Chain A
Amino acid sequence: MPDIKLNFINNSNDKNNSQIVIFQKNVDSSYEELAVAWLVIKNCGQGWNHPFTYPMAMQVSGTDSYDNFSQKRTAYNGDKFVVVKDLSGDVLQPAGQASSPNEIDVLNGLGLGSVSVNVYKDGRLLATKTNIEPGGKAVFEFKPVIWIGAVSQIEEGELINSAILQDLNTQLSLFGIKSADVVMTGGGSGPNSTAFQFNLENIVYA
């Protein structure tokens, strides 16, 4: 499936130079799991736009308890990986098919020591699961829905504070879309100011 081309357009009245954060939520997430800021758009002034791509492919990498990082491996839905120890050391290798064709599984196949797993999309961190015990499994399932909101003081790749997460309430479904504009409106000051709204426009279906 081809990558989805999106274009953020600032048609808002915002005068605070708000940053726009885009992230995804892992469907199979535990209660206390936080989302990661996948993309942060900064300094996009009124009338400007910021094109970006939402690729279908993802990359996974692992970190062991010795602070070793594995190389990034390309992953699609339905892939399973395992962190094992071989003659060279801890390695991340493919391990067949995941439990569900909609998710990516990463197992901790080490006898000793926890691992953390990161998932990347378009080279940016999308989600992370930490402290997976030996025998445990990290499951990542993402729907083609992005969450978007106007924030401040947030960096790409960082976990989004739960308080901020609660306020980010716009989800855009990219299901079946080839390209679209994400238009931000609202904001500003004065009696006519409205809340920020994010809408999909100029949608081209795949």
Chain B
Amino acid sequence: MRTRVSHLYNRFPMSEMTINDLIRITAECREQHLPGLPDEQSAIHYSIFYPVNSHTSFFSGMLAGNNKQRIEYKAPDNFIVNGSVCTKVNEHEIVLFGDLYYGFGKTPGTRHHFDGTILIFPFQPTPAPPPVPIPNECTEDFPAEITVDEPLFPYIAISSWNQESYTAGTGIDFYSYDPAGAEPGSLYKLLVADNTNRQAMENLAAIFVQSTSYYGNLQAVPEPFNVFPAFYDLLQQELTHSVFTTALSTYVGVGAPDNWDLVPDQLWQNYFALTILTNYNEGFYIDISKILVICNLLKHADLLLSGNDATLKTLLYASNILPSAIFPLPPYQRTGTADSTNSITPYAIGELKMTRYKLLRYQQGEVARIQNVLKGEKKKLVNRSFTGSREQLTDQTVNDNETTNDDMKATNELTVEVSKTIAELTKNVTFNNLTATYGPPAQVILNGSYTTTTSCNGPLTKDSSLFATRVLNRTLSRINESVLRARVYTSYREQEEITASVFNNQSGTTHLRGVYRWVNKLYRISVENYGNRFLFEFRINEPAKPFKAAQLQLNDLDLEKPIAPRDKGINNFTDITLSNYAELFSQYEVKQLLLPPEDETKQMLVWQMQVYNAIMESYQHTMASYNDRLTRFSGKNVQSNPLLLNNIIHSCLESSCHNMLKNVIFEKIGEEAVFLKRCDQFMQEAFEWNEMTYVFNDQPSRLSYALQGEDDSLRPFLQASYALVYLPVRPAFNFSILYFLSSGIIAAAPSPFVPVNANDVLVAQQLKRIQQWYMKSQVERSWVITLPTAMQVIQDSEALPIFHH
């Protein structure tokens, strides 16, 4: 048996196969519309030729899905081919399988038998086979024992957003209520009549569930509708057409039931009431949903005649479109206004892919340098590395003492004159018998007489000399002493590294050569596909605002970028005026006191210039402090842990997204919403927060995410005016999130029973197109990259390397 393709093992599409040089089978896989199926299917068109080089096939056929075709042929020369070919479809490919007996023997036992795979057509190209290992690269100095296999970054490969229009009733992915069948006075009519007042609508629903029209449980639902949930469960377990046909007669019977027109409409009213009163009776709500699905399925029974399991599956999982006249309910009358600057929009459906890197090995790269030692030469290489540092600390104390000598000498001229005057007249009084006692009381008794004599003498020389000279010598001692006390601390560190290499080829007969090679690291980068995801785009204005507020409150750290003077209209010194200088001083915290001059001429210009310089200096100082605060998180020339920075940004954005989602409740329902308690848990489960990606509007460069990023700082985050966050939804919550965003309600029912509002039908239809959301992680592409390092290694051989390409 021979095949005429290049690679047998990597499953690129094969077109031809020869069996035992006797039969040739050609096949082609085409996407085409098959009867009864809405979408294109893969179908194999095959032809069988005998003899091998015949141009006319003796049998041709087409197979799709899991189907079989009998083959019976007898050639004119009595060569017989009989057996069967079949196709088997799995998630990756469609396989043409054969079980053929061929030959000239009259019985199968005497003919050749071929059993097995003929051809495989993958649905998407499979990766190329691993490269053949080049033996030369196996002799490495570095063993490949180090395993570094880490995720690098996730990204979402977004497929184009298919803007096709949907007309209700044309597809089988959805079903909806036909208002033409609504009776006057039914809940539907009442709700439509009063569809601007949410409270009134809820009251109507509450009244309905108290009435006799409300079934309340499955047992109260008339036959055969009350067994439809069991019918649904059975189909869900075993979704094949044969099971459907068998169960149909069991559960439904032959022909449409008599109450076919009445009961479904009543069930719809029950459904509307329970949709409004979320969480009221979740179990019955799910049962009604199942009944309505089966009713819709039975309506399209003609499509199921072809026996196509895919149609059955589509109908079974069809979603309910709520009537736009009622749903979504209007919000309560609210007093406040919601923040409408931020927005959440469905972005796209994309494939979630993770880029991983794995260190394969180290490899010798280009030649770094070559060391030559000639024959008979002795070479000594000394490599000296010297590092010295000196640290000196000087402590100086100065003491100041001031001494002042103050001499004052009085002249004796005045005293001479005084003494002369005193000397001219002396009056003496003499008392006889004067007694004094000190008592008490003190008494002085004069029992005699007194005489008074007056004499005039000139002063004595001795006395005058005493009065004559009075020298007042006042010394105020203040000692001026300057003491310089200096304390010097010197620290000196010296480090010397000497590497001496001696190449002694004195006794050698040939020249020696040492070839130094750069060491490169080889990484294998692979892209793994995790499956499809529904992406939402969150636009967050001022994403760093909560973070800055938190830093200010908790750490007293002001991360607001200082406003430059030119942003306040101060472009040059002439912009400083009497009216604005005080405010500028206060804003820029200028310490100097510069009052304006009284004279408004030349002095004014000088003052303006001084003020302007002071403001600029203060602004630069403030900017330096701001940059310094930023470097605590990261900055250039500072080593930082990118994971820490990513965690900060991630948690801030996550918190902002949470708030935006809670705001949806406020917008859609109003202030009295009761869903906030469940909201946090729902948000946490519904979105894949770990796969969040974001873009800031002034992010410097996308290349900073490369393996060796430089600008890993919070600067883009702190200074961004808005951020776009792309968040994938966990596939099981696709419809729940869609419903939540349009109505503000967290659907109580599980995924297949979440209804769809009319304005979400386009997006819901796109979601239904995706057959498979989760995929077993498979490597899509991988390639090897080489990264240089600063290490060198000496190669074993002297020969210069030859690089093969």
A residues adjacent to B (C-beta < 8 A): 1, 27, 56, 76-79, 93-94, 97, 101-102, 143-145, 169-177, 186, 194-200, 203, 205
- Among A97, A177, A198, the residue within 8 A (CB) of B117 is A177
Query: Contact residues of B with A, CB < 8 Å?
Result: 1-3, 6-9, 11, 19-20, 88, 90, 93, 95, 97-99, 103, 107-118, 120, 129, 132, 135
Closest 8 CB pairs of A and B: A195-B109, A173-B116, A175-B117, A170-B113, A169-B112, A94-B135, A176-B120, A173-B117
Check B8 against A199 for contact (C-beta < 8 Å). Answer: no
Interface residue from B7, B93, B108 paired with A195 (Cβ < 8 Å): B108
Q: List 15 A-B contacts (CB under 8 A).
A: A1-B9, A76-B132, A93-B135, A97-B132, A101-B129, A169-B111, A169-B112, A171-B115, A171-B116, A173-B116, A175-B120, A176-B93, A176-B95, A186-B109, A200-B116
Q: CA–CA, A97 to B136, complex, Å?
A: 13
Q: How far is the CA of A195 from the CA of B112 in the complex (A)?
A: 12
Q: Are A172 and B116 in contact (CB under 8 A)?
A: yes
Rounded to whole Å, the gap between the CB of A188 and the closest CB of chain B is 12
Contact at B11–A199, with CB atoms within 8 Å? no
**Cβ-closest chain A residue relative to B107:** A195
Distance in angstroms from B265 CB to nearest chain A CB is 48
Report Cα–Cα, A131/B117, bound state, in Å.
Answer: 35
Beta-carbon contact of A169 and B103 below 8 Å? yes
Among candidates A97, A144, A205, residue contacting B88 with C-beta atoms closer than 8 Å:
A205
Q: Which residues of chain B come closer than 8 Å to A205, judged between CB atoms? A: 88, 90, 93, 95
When distances are taken between beta carbons in the complex, the residues of chain A under 8 Å from B98 are: 173
| Contact among A56, A93, A102, A170 for B115, CB-based, below 8 A | A170
* Nearest A residue (CB) for B114: A171
B438 CB → nearest A CB, Å: 139
Report how far A76 CA is from B129 CA in the complex, Å.
Answer: 11
Minimum CB–CB distance from B124 to chain A (whole Å) comes to 15
Minimum CB–CB distance for B27 against chain A, Å = 13
* Given the contacts A1-B9, A97-B132, A173 and B118 also touching, CB distance less than 8 Å: yes
A56 and B9 form a contact (CB under 8 A):
yes
* Pairwise interchain contact A198-B115, C-beta atoms closer than 8 A: yes
**Distance in angstroms between the alpha carbons of A71 and B98 in the assembled complex:** 40
| Given A170-B115, A173-B115, also A143-B1 (CB < 8 A) | yes
Which chain A residues border B110 with CB–CB below 8 Å?
Answer: 195
Please, which residues of chain A bring their CB within 8 A of the CB of B114? 170-173
A200 to B116, alpha carbons, bound, how many Å? 7
B113–A171 contact, CB under 8 A?
yes
Contact yes or no, B2 A27, CB < 8 A: yes
- With a CB–CB cut-off of 8 A, which chain A residues contact B19? 171
Chain B residues with Cβ below 8 Å from A172 are 114-116
The residue from A102, A195, A203 contacting B8, defined by CB atoms under 8 A apart: A102
Collect the chain A residues with CB atoms within 8 Å of residue B103's CB. 169
Which of A102, A174, A176, A203 makes the CB contact (< 8 A) with B11? A176
Residue of A nearest to B120 (CB): A176
Bound-complex Cα distance A102 to B12 (A):
14
A199 to chain B, nearest CB (A): 5
The answer to whether A145 touches B112, judged by C-beta atoms less than 8 angstroms apart, is: no
Given contacts A169-B103, A170-B114, 10 further A-B contacts (CB under 8 A): A27-B2, A94-B135, A101-B6, A101-B129, A144-B9, A171-B1, A172-B114, A198-B113, A198-B115, A200-B116
